Chains A and B, each alone.
Chain A
Amino acid sequence: MASRKKVLLKVIILGESGVGKTSLMNQYVNKKFSNQYKATIGADFLTKEVLVDDRLVTMQIWDTAGQERFQSLGVAFYRGADCCVLVYDVNNAKSFETLESWRDEFLIQASPRGPENFPFVVIGNKIDMEESKRMMWDQTMTDLRARSDLDIYIYDGVIEISQKRAMAWCQSKGNIPYFETSAKEAINVEQAFQTIAKNALQQEVEVEIDFPDPIKIDSDTSKDFGCAC
């Protein structure tokens, strides 16, 4: 039976370098966090078993490198993904703005069936930004606030990419689920991945299996392998 084995889901995590993709994955799978930044080289792979609606599924998480120079893993790398997670840093406007191109890139390379319905999940990470850094950001952003063309605002002293803006974008892309997380403080990580697994499962549609046509045997289809048997 198809469901006898645990379903395996291929989940790809994409986003700018330094937004915390690996940290999110590590928090989720190993419940660990390190402040130390180590760039992912190529890709990292982790496996986790989760229970989704009483169904045990294996998540095969493909963590990719954000840096351009490592993005040479090739078209085949994205092939057959069940869900794609787009991650940005809520404190870094540029990382949000590139989400669009990450999404497009993924759709081109993975070329899933029915791209409009392919499950994406957007994660705004680093909502925990520490105090000192906040201050610094605060100052910069106060300066920037004078510029009316930027959709950035101060919220409880923390500068963020407007949650509204992120959600609006998600909505425009076909209601992509949106989460704000902290890999460091383990906020919302579990919930985000639960949704990822759930939406990925939707991709697991059965394929149509026909029994192939029977073989017609006649001398035209002669098969002689030259052996005596």
Chain B
Amino acid sequence: MPTKSRPTTALVFGQQAETLQPHLLPPPLQDTESLSSDDFVLSASSSSSAPTGTATAAGGDSHSKVPSARSGLKTISDSLNQDDQSSESSDDADGRLTDTESEQVRARTRTGTPVIAGRTNNHHHGTTEHGTTTSSALQSLREIEEHDHEGRQTQLQGLESRFRTTTLVAQDQDLTSDGGDNQLKVLRPKPSSGSVGNNSLSSRPKSHLQRTASMKSYDSDDISNNHGGYQKHYGDEDHTTSAWTEHRKHFFILSSAGKPIYARYGDESRISSYMGVIQALISFFADNDDTLRCINAGEHRFVFLLKAPLYLVCVSRSGESESQLRDQLGYLYAQIISVLTQSQMTKIFEQRNNFDLRGLIGGTEIFLDSLGKLMNTYPGFMLGAIQCLTMPRELRDKVGAVLGRAKCKPLLYALLVTPTQLITLLRPRTHSMHPADLHLIFNLLSGSTTFESSESWTPICLPKFNNKSFLHAYICYIAKKVCMLLISPDKDSFFEMSSVKQKVVEGLEAGGMLASLENYAAAGTRGGFSVGDTGIPGLRHFLYKSRVNVQFTMPELTEPYATTTARKRLLRQYQNMNERMHRKTRPLKLLFHVGEQETLLGWVTSGFELYAAFGPLVSKSAVVLMSNKLLKWIRKQEDSLLILNSPSFEKFK
């Protein structure tokens, strides 16, 4: 391998700039980040300069292919004064930039005022058919719970059945007609040690009882099928098949002993030789107290994230940057932590560094798969921000008030989401929720359809909140595409959560809100609003991130971005822009990019980030004009596009 090692200052970019902003998503790998200056990169090709066609019109230092128009759009590339934008402004465009910034500051102060929207009469106690079904099923569930409780005494703790699943079909046939909710399902962690004092492993008998019990529950519903009969896509491939090498982006997760844990494509045990090679490479550098971060070889980029006892590696020719790929590895790592907790995983590998982790994360590979997919389509990961469902603020506030009033003691967070968009979130005043944790929740919901048909109760670790322990999530769809999540630190609070849901559903129905929520959610799944709504001809699509709120919004992806390929391509374009603008060595505030198929503008200020796509033949001055117009439109719509004041429970006391 023609390799050349040299300090990475030129190749490590991007995220460091972000870590300065505490409200942004910090890459979940700071401990390794700090090593960067000592690290080396194996590099077969030199680091690439700005993509072709990119015009960075900075003083003298530019690859200007587009003649600098007199519009005076200026790219400020001084890396040190990122916030000192106004001092640089001397011409028209910059003057307007400052204008809009102050406008934005005003918008921010506006959001500070708490809004308690018109109260609705939502404590109406009409028992709907829907409600009855659930409650009758609930009662049966309670019986099962009691029965279970006895069983628990005799059952020994077994790690292979971290989830125990009970399924129940409501007996009342008359009520099963209203679809979906007749099935109740409880995912519950096994009781922690204690009921039976025998904890030692070697002496732990594998009782026949336990075996059959868990076998049975595994076969009894679809979640458990995920555990056992998980059919991996591309599972038949391995390194000998050409299809395997054709994939553009591979993810590998292995233990620091070199044992395979997960491969995005192919059977991880059949490609375990590659895992060995990866471990040998890492070990070679580790022997000199060095850390392998990235290898660039031709069009392939190998990115390493070392989170002992796990190693995560991405091999990609997708064109994404090193830091973007490392962020994605960080999300995969977080997904594994959300299943195991950091403390549990560390403890396991301290006990046995030859541990085969696949047994423990078994059944959750689908969520690693879906995360891989989601990161290719959903810009929230790149932006470190979450998307909110577009809906009128009054409705959002009303819905939030219903949630707020349903608060019970063990309830920590209450969320309403369409699988990947936030409707509203209620939280304690002292605890906000990190976008990275929300992304895990979005992935959990979009990764499996199993939650759509039942009430579920599952342990989940939200690493940014607390990576040492589990929270417990009550998950239930209260309408089509409208999912309620109630998160509690108490593992025995399923029934309390279930009754909170009941209260909320009644409240929403009474106020007639459930139907409109469902409509907005349906519209939101398509995209929420269209680019035509902005009234700006020539604008094809945009991403707008409010850095203050850590949220973003974007219009529906319509022609010419209707196909999956086109969407992916557009996201890659945004990623390139994002990478270039946040590059550590020379971050940019403005970037005008003329591509083959579209013209793009990137614009980063301390308050927002805007990436907008226009037709390929639009002039620079027109782009500036339209972008300012777009910003004005966003400001006007901001309170329905974003959640400007997330309510806390304390407000409703």
Q: Which of B199, B412, B469 interacts with A213 by CB under 8 Å?
A: B469
Cβ distance A78 to chain B, nearest Cβ, rounded Å: 9
B269 touches A8 (CB 8 A): yes
How many interface residues does chain B have, given as a range? 35 or more
A residues within 8 A CB of B359?
Answer: 1-5
A134 → B minimal CB distance (Å): 36
Contact of A10 among B227, B257, B274, B360 (CB under 8 A): B257
Inter-chain CA distance A196–B271, complex, in Å, is 21
Shortest Cβ distance from B274 into A: residue: A45
Q: Are A43 and B276 in contact (CB under 8 A)?
A: yes
Least CB separation from B642: chain A residue: A228
Q: Which of A1-56 contact B (CB under 8 A)?
A: 1-8, 10, 42-43, 45-47, 49
Do the beta carbons of B348 and A60 come within 8 Å of each other?
no
Nearest CB to that of A63 among chain B residues? B276
Q: Is B344 a contact of A75 with CB atoms below 8 Å? A: no
Task: State whether A224 touches B432 (Cβ < 8 A).
Answer: yes
Q: CB-nearest residue of chain B relative to A5?
A: B358
| B491 CB-CB contact with A under 8 Å | yes
Rounded to whole Å, the gap between the CB of A40 and the closest CB of chain B is 12
Decide if A207 touches B348 in the complex (CB within 8 Å): yes
CB distance from B381 to the nearest CB of A (A): 15
User: What residues of chain B lie closer than 8 Å to A49, measured between beta carbons?
Assistant: 269
- Among the listed stretches B94-102, B185-193, B372-380, which one makes contact with chain A, having 4 or more residues with CB under 8 Å of it? B185-193
Q: Tell me if A217 counts as interface (CB < 8 A to partner B).
A: yes
Q: Which residues of A contact B435 (CB under 8 A)?
A: 225, 227, 229
A189-229 residues at the B interface, CB under 8 angstroms: 203-217, 219, 221-229
B431 adjacent to A80 (CB under 8 Å)? no
Once A208-B199, A212-B341, A215-B466 are accepted as A-B contacts, the answer to whether A228 and B551 lie under 8 Å apart by CB is yes
Structural contact, B355 and A75, CB atoms closer than 8 A: no
Cβ of B177 within 8 Å of any chain A Cβ, yes or no, is: no
Structural contact, B348 and A209, CB atoms closer than 8 A: yes
Is B85 engaged at the interface, CB distance under 8 Å to the other chain? no
Whether the Cβ atoms of A79 and B362 lie closer than 8 Å is no
Instruction: Give the complex CA separation of A62 and B160 in angstroms.
Output: 29
User: Is there a chain B Cβ closer than 8 Å to A76's Cβ?
Assistant: yes
The answer to whether B433 touches A75 (Cβ under 8 A) is no
Give chain A residues whose Cβ lies under 8 Å from the Cβ of B190: 211
Chain A residues with Cβ below 8 Å from B352 are: 80, 113, 205, 207
Decide: A10 near B362, CB < 8 A? Known: A60-B273, A226-B22: no
Max chain A Cβ within 10 angstroms of own Cβ: one of B255, B274, B354, B645:
B354
Q: How many angstroms between the C-alpha atoms of A73 and B278 in the bound complex?
A: 12
Establish whether residues B490 and A214, one from each chain, have CB atoms under 8 Å apart when the complex forms. yes
A188 within 8 A of partner (CB): no
Q: Which of B114-122, B283-291, B598-606 contacts A (4 or more CB under 8 A)?
A: B283-291
CA of A229 to CA of B441, assembled, Å? 14
Residues of the A chain whose Cβ atoms lie less than 8 Å from the Cβ of B161: 1
Chain A interface size, under 10 / 10 to 19 / 20 to 34 / 35 or more:
35 or more
Docked complex: B413-438 residues within 8 A CB-CB of A = 422, 425, 427-428, 430-435, 438
Chain B residue nearest to A56 (CB atoms) is B269
Q: Check if A58 is an interface residue, CB within 8 A of chain B.
A: yes
CA distance A80 to B284 in the complex (A): 16
Q: In the assembly, what is the distance between CA of A207 and CA of B201, in Å?
A: 6
The binding surface of chain B is classed by DSSP as loop
Measured between beta carbons, the chain B residues less than 8 angstroms from A226 are 22-23, 432, 550
**Contact (A217, B422) CB under 8 Å given A8-B259, A80-B255, A229-B643:** no
Evaluate contact between B465 and A223: CB separation under 8 angstroms.
Answer: yes
Once the chains bind, are A45 and B277 in contact (CB under 8 Å)? yes
Q: Is B159 engaged at the interface, CB distance under 8 Å to the other chain?
A: yes
A209 engages B356 (CB within 8 Å): no
Assuming the contacts A76-B256, A223-B431, A229-B386, asked whether A1 and B228 have C-beta atoms less than 8 A apart, the reply is yes
Does A122 belong to the interface (CB within 8 Å)?
Answer: no
| B284: chain A residues within 8 A (beta carbon) | 42, 72-74, 77
Question: What are the interface flags for B379-410 relative to A under an 8 Å C-beta threshold, 1 for contact and 0 otherwise?
Answer: 00000001000000000000000000000000
Assess the B192–A210 pair: CB atoms within 8 A.
Answer: yes
Whether A121 sits at the interface, judged by CB under 8 Å, is: no
Q: Which of B201, B272, B274, B353 is in CB contact (< 8 Å) with A58?
A: B272
CA distance A219 to B649 in the complex (A): 13
Tell me, rounded to whole Å, the shortest Cβ–Cβ distance linking B623 to chain A: 30
Interface members, chain B 488-511 (any A CB < 8 Å)? 489-491
- Complex Cα spacing A217 to B270, Å: 44
Contact of A212 among B286, B351, B468 (CB under 8 A): B468
Question: How far, in Å, is B3 (CB) from chain A's closest CB?
Answer: 14
Decide if A1 touches B344 in the complex (CB within 8 Å): no
A89: Cβ under 8 A from any B Cβ: no
| Assembled-state Cα–Cα distance A42/B549 (Å) | 51
- For the complex, what is the distance from the CA of A152 to the CA of B200, rounded to whole Å? 49
Q: Is the CB of B277 within 8 A of A74?
A: no
Say whether A207 contacts B287, CB under 8 Å: no
- B residues less than 8 Å from A46 (CB atoms): 273
Which of B343, B344, B464, B489 sits near A217, CB closer than 8 Å?
B489
Determine whether B260 belongs to the interface, using a CB cutoff of 8 Å to chain A: yes
Q: Which residues of B contact A82 (CB under 8 A)?
A: 354
Residue from A6, A77, A206 within 8 A of B201 (CB atoms): A206
Looking at the assembled complex, report how far the CB atom of A87 sits from the nearest CB atom of chain B, in whole angstroms.
Answer: 18
When distances are taken between beta carbons in the complex, the residues of chain A under 8 Å from B27 are none
Indicate if A158 sits at the interface (CB-CB under 8 A).
Answer: no
Assess the A7–B430 pair: CB atoms within 8 A. no
Q: Can you list 17 A-B contacts with CB-CB less than 8 angstroms, sorted by A residue number? A: A2-B159, A4-B228, A4-B362, A47-B269, A60-B276, A75-B286, A76-B287, A77-B280, A77-B283, A207-B351, A207-B352, A208-B351, A209-B162, A217-B428, A219-B428, A225-B432, A227-B549
Interface residue ranges, B against A (CB under 8 Å): 22-23, 111, 157, 159-162, 189-193, 199-202, 204, 214-215, 218, 227-228, 255-260, 269-277, 279-280, 282-287, 341, 343-344, 347-348, 351-356, 358-360, 362, 386, 412, 422, 425, 427-428, 430-435, 438, 464-466, 468-471, 489-491, 548-551, 643-646
The 7 closest A-B CB pairs, nearest first, are A80-B257, A74-B287, A226-B23, A76-B283, A45-B273, A45-B276, A227-B550
